[in-house]
Amino acid sequence: MPETGPGAPPALEELLEVMRRLRAECPWKAEQTHRSLARYLLEETHETLEAIDTGDAAHLREELGDLLLQVYFHAVIAEESGAFDLDDVARGITDKMVRRNPHVFAPAEPGADRERPGDAAAVNEAWEAIKAEEKSARTSVLDGIAPTLPALLYADKALDRLARAGRPLTPDPASPDLGERLLALVAEARAAGIDPEQALRDTVREHTRGH
């Protein structure tokens, strides 16, 4: 098995070794596959979102640990088959972050300051442009958007993609079709700069507090 990098924090090295040992010595963990673990990844993601909503830092720390465990578990399974290892995962996301954030990492011209975007919206636009260039083989506006996303988030991303492709969609808020009206609400939220998924979670939590 490949060794962890010399600069890796001790706690992360220890977690990797714990997962390797569990795969070797725990019958249940030895039987798991990427597919069998999918439900746990989904559950831990939702529990992390719940911790964010509560604003409890200790709860969030715990849930981030559970989520990190899933990443390590999948990486160790892949390592055993020779597909990739944790270093490959980290290297891949590091390269992506550097590539998609040229305003931070691209070398400036000699004697010139690095050009920086004026605000967060400009950064997001540049990110999406670079991402679109990377995904130039995309055949559908929905390519790369996971269909298992919560419906409001899925709709938000689809509307964003359509707008960027020059085919903006304007759903009818007065339509007799409930789905069309829900899509219109997502479009309204986008226009106002509001995350519809988070807004609905916050409202449900507020209305059910104390019940």
pTM here is 0.72
Closest alpha carbon to 75 in 132, 138, 131, 8: 8
Please answer whether residues 200 and 152 qualify as being in contact, where contact means their C-beta atoms are separated by less than 8 angstroms: yes
Q: Which residues contact 80 (CB under 8 A, 6 or more apart)?
A: 23
CATH number assigned to the domain covering 10-84: 1.10.287.1080
**pLDDT reported for residue 1:** 42
Question: Which whole-number Å values give the CA distances from 5 to 1, 8, 12, 44, 144, in the listed order?
Answer: 12, 5, 10, 27, 31
**pLDDT reported for residue 117:** 64
Q: Where exactly are the structural domains of the chain? A: 10-84, 138-211
**pLDDT reported for residue 112:** 56
**pLDDT reported for residue 27:** 97
Closest alpha carbon to 161 in 172, 149, 173: 149
Give alpha helix (H) positions in the chain.
10-25, 27-31, 34-54, 57-81, 86-100, 102-105, 120-134, 151-164, 178-191, 196-208
Question: With a cut of 50, which residues of the chain have pLDDT below it?
Answer: 1-3
pLDDT in tens, 60-88: 999 999 999 999 999 999 999 999 999 99
**pLDDT reported for residue 91:** 96
